[in-house]
Amino acid sequence: MAVAKSSPASSSGEYAKRYPFGLRLSGGQVSGTSSRKGDAGAVKWWGWGLESKTYRLDDKPQFWPFLLKTLKLAQLNECPRVTLEDVELPPPRLDGRTLARLERVIGSADVSTTKHDRLTHSLGRSYVDLLTLRRGIIRNPPDAVVYPRNEKEVARLLSFARASRISVVPFAGGSSVVGGVDPVRQRGFKGAISVDLRKMNRVLEVDVISLTASVEAGISGPDLEDELSKIGFTLGHFPQSFQFSVLGGWIATRSAGQVSTKYGKIEDMVESLTMVSPSGKLDTKSVPASASGPQLKQLLIGSEGTLGVLTKAKMRIRHLPEVRRYEGLMFKSFRDGINAIRETMQSGLIPAMMRLSDPDETAVSLMLSSQGATTKLGLWMLERLGYVPSQECVMILGVEGDHTTLKAERQVAVRACKRNGAFAIGKGVGETWLNERFELPYLRDVLLDHCILVDTLETATTWDKLEALHGAIKKSIEEAIAGMGVTGLAFAHVSHAYWDGASIYYTLVAPQVKGREAQQWLRIKKAATDCIMRNGGTLSHHHGIGKDHAPWIKQELGENGLALLKAMKKQLDPEGIMNPGKLLGSP
């Protein structure tokens, strides 16, 4: 890429001077799958992230004692996992002739039926998925995994699948936590193939005037950011799964990133997209806004592979921020913190992030902090100032951008926080959060090693309902846990904020109920989701629907809304081959 080496410009003004009006930079091809962080071998088949990595607890001596006490456990137990050799997969259901035909469709090098490939495309990364993988009992692996290289191959694959009655599961990063990628068995189908998009991972074009990048759907978070940052840009989308998730998956599930409060959810970043459906290709128009009828783009975004395969998108990109400042603030109560976020959002000047932990999450964060002595001193000081440990809530406030913007945005946010009784606890907390923000998912594997259930769930609602919803969810989860005779903890943070409301993100931990692990999870999930639906929350703010939330989709969209969605599916996927069992539930 010719301009890849040019130094990042700090404002669009400079860019406009450097490049004549209307100039386009062609994108360079990224360096193949070797840069893909999800490469076979490097990534755990049984857990989160890289084989070589685990969550460090040796420098957090308070964590285990705190957890044992909270969960009323006398000791830590051990729940080992099976080895790869012990995993048994059912044999492929597709016969040799069908596989041979499949190989003729996209080339034998891009079709795999190996144990490793089938296994790693069997499940996502939800708690139940991890439970299943650790036991090595895989019921529904795909019969084959295919790696198309372009839209034409995707179209040929879908024609083949239609004709052969094979269901198709689009697979991006595979980090779904709601059962979005497993090939659910569906009556009437001969088998299922996973369509892994990792070979469609190029940045096709960067328009430095309109600030958009045309990108293939299979590019991973780090690869995309690497490519963009070389020429001074960023997409600005950093979900917790960032290192292992993929553009197409973000769009298919309406993903949110850690700084989506400022930059928008993924659906706000998509200028246009291309989907190959069984009925043909759809290209939405690349314009900033339109009144040409209903916005079809917003139908394809969030369709979770049930309507077709997202193949590419034109994404709105940003200049890399000139400056970035993340800092901590402590509030006397959750309500004070919520009010500070709301007042900031409704001012119209939006910071990158206002992440407010509830009292329990604040306590857990302290236990996961490696700054023992400093923290203790700070807490002692705060207590003297009237901040009650069981009620206080920590917020990470992040601002980024150019100097003018940052200053204005920070000023409004800090004022709102101070008006609501916040005490500034400094940049250290913010920087620690920044450094460790992709680490927490690794902790799940450690907890599972010790027979501890750990799951997350999220929702969003309007400001007027937020505090009540927060309390109700906590209660519903902890009661559901107690209903099976163990003690658990649910804690949360306000994760993304909007003009009219915010999302709230729960983590829950409990000792596993031996022999009934899946039932235990289901009971909690049902209680929490029913509670969300009763209290005006949305079924999901950014995890998506998948298989796990599908039982509630009718309640979420209403009978006529669901019927409308099914009519769209019928139009684009008449035989129902696309990702059956997801989003819409059973056909």
Nearest CA among 3, 29, 31, 32 for reference residue 18: 3
Between residues 194 and 344, which has the closer beta carbon with respect to its own copies? 344
Given the residues 147, 263, 498, 505, the one annotated as active site:
505
Q: Which tokens sit at 115?
A: 């144990």
Considering only residues 345 through 404, tell me which ones interact with its own copies, judged by CB under 8 A: 346-349, 401-402, 404
Using DSSP, state whether 71 is helix, strand or coil. coil
The helix/strand/coil state of 203 is: strand
Site track for its own copies across 12-51, x = CB under 8 A: xx--x----xx-x---------------------------
In the complex, what is the shortest distance from the CB of residue 460 to its own copies, in angstroms, rounded to a whole number?
Answer: 5
Find the binding residues for its own copies in span 107-146 (CB under 8 A): none
Q: How far is the CB of 575 from its own copies (least distance, A)?
A: 15
Angle separating helix axes 96-106 and 151-164, nearest 10 degrees: 160
Q: Restricting to residues 259-278, which ones interact with its own copies according to CB under 8 A?
A: 262, 265, 267, 271, 277
Does position 75 bind its own copies by CB under 8 A?
no
CB of 341 to its own copies, least distance (A): 11
Q: Name residues contacting its own copies, limited to 166-225 (CB under 8 A).
A: 207, 209-212
- Per CB under 8 A, contacts with its own copies among 310-339 are 316, 319, 335, 339
Instruction: Give the contact letters, 396-425, x = binds to its own copies (CB under 8 A), - = no.
Output: -----xx-xx-xx--xx---x--x------
CB atoms within 10 A of CB 560: 8
With CB under 8 A as the contact rule, which of the stretches 7-15, 41-49, 117-125, 358-366 interacts with its own copies? 7-15
Pick from 538, 575, 585, 587: which binds its own copies (CB under 8 A)? Answer: 538
- Interface residue with its own copies among 30, 247, 300, 477 (CB under 8 A) is 300
CB of 367 to its own copies, least distance (A): 30
Q: Applying CB under 8 A, does 543 fall inside the site for its own copies? A: yes
Considering only the stretches 298-306, 374-382, 443-451, 515-523, report the one whose residues sit in contact with its own copies under the rule CB under 8 A: 298-306
> Of residues 460, 472, 481, 528, which one binds its own copies by CB under 8 A?
460
Q: Token match 């090693």: residue?
A: 449
Count of residues interacting with its own copies (CB under 8 A): 110
Question: What's the DSSP call for residue 434?
Answer: H
Longest dimension (CA), the chain: 76
- Which CB, 74 or 291, lies closer to its own copies? 291
Q: Which helix (H) or strand (E) holds 454?
A: strand 452-462
- Residues of 312-322 as b/e, b for ≥16 C-beta within 10 angstroms? bbbbbbbbbbb
Task: For 520, list phi and psi in degrees, rounded to 5.
Answer: -60, -45
Q: State the Cα–Cα distance between residues 57 and 61, nearest whole angstrom.
A: 7
Nearer to its own copies, 121 or 582 (CB): 582
Considering only the stretches 55-63, 77-85, 125-133, 541-549, report the one whose residues sit in contact with its own copies under the rule CB under 8 A: 541-549
Q: Tell me how far, at minimum, the Cβ of 206 lies from its own copies, in Å.
A: 11
Q: Does 298 bind its own copies (CB under 8 A)?
A: yes
Distance CA 91, CA 68 (A): 42
Examine residue 243 and tell whether it contacts its own copies (CB under 8 A).
no
Minimum distance between the CB of residue 553 and its own copies, rounded to whole angstroms?
Answer: 7
Sequence-ordered alpha helix ranges (H) in 167-274 = 221-230, 247-253, 260-263, 266-269
The candidate with the shortest Cα–Cα distance to 282, out of 273, 290, 294, is 273
Beta bridge partner(s), residue 505: 458, 493
CB of 558 to its own copies, least distance (A): 6
Q: DSSP letter at 422?
A: -
**Residue 351, CA distances (Å) to 310, 405, 490 in order:** 31, 9, 27
Catalytic site residue 505? Answer: yes
Distance from C-alpha of 108 to C-alpha of 343, rounded to nearest angstrom:
58
In the complex with its own copies, the residue whose CB is nearer, 142 or 305, is 305
Contact status, residue 175 vs residue 121, Cβ threshold 8 Å: no
Nearer to its own copies, 295 or 435 (CB): 295
Please return the burial class of 366, using the count of CB atoms within 10 Å of its CB with bins 0-12, 13-18 and 19+. Answer: buried
Residue from 32, 65, 483, 558 binding its own copies (CB under 8 A): 558
Taking CB under 8 A as the binding criterion, the range among 71-79, 91-99, 239-247, 564-572 that sits at the site for its own copies is 564-572
Calpha distance 240→355 (Å, rounded) = 13
CB-count burial class (<10 Å; 0-12, 13-18, 19+) for 453: buried
The smaller minimum CB distance to its own copies, of residues 145 and 177, is found at 177
Chosen residue from 183, 549, 577, 579 binding its own copies by CB under 8 A: 549
**Cβ 557 vs Cβ 545: under 8 Å:** no
Give yes or no for residue 10 binding its own copies (CB under 8 A): no
Q: Which helix H or strand E contains 529, and what residues bound it?
A: helix 517-534
User: Looking at 28-36, 90-98, 434-442, 563-571, which segment touches its own copies (CB under 8 A)?
Assistant: 563-571
Q: Phi/psi of residue 224, each to 5°?
A: -65, -45
User: Which residues inside 467-526 make contact with its own copies, applying CB under 8 A?
Assistant: 467-468, 496, 498-503
433: tokens are: 């959060």
Catalytic residues: 505
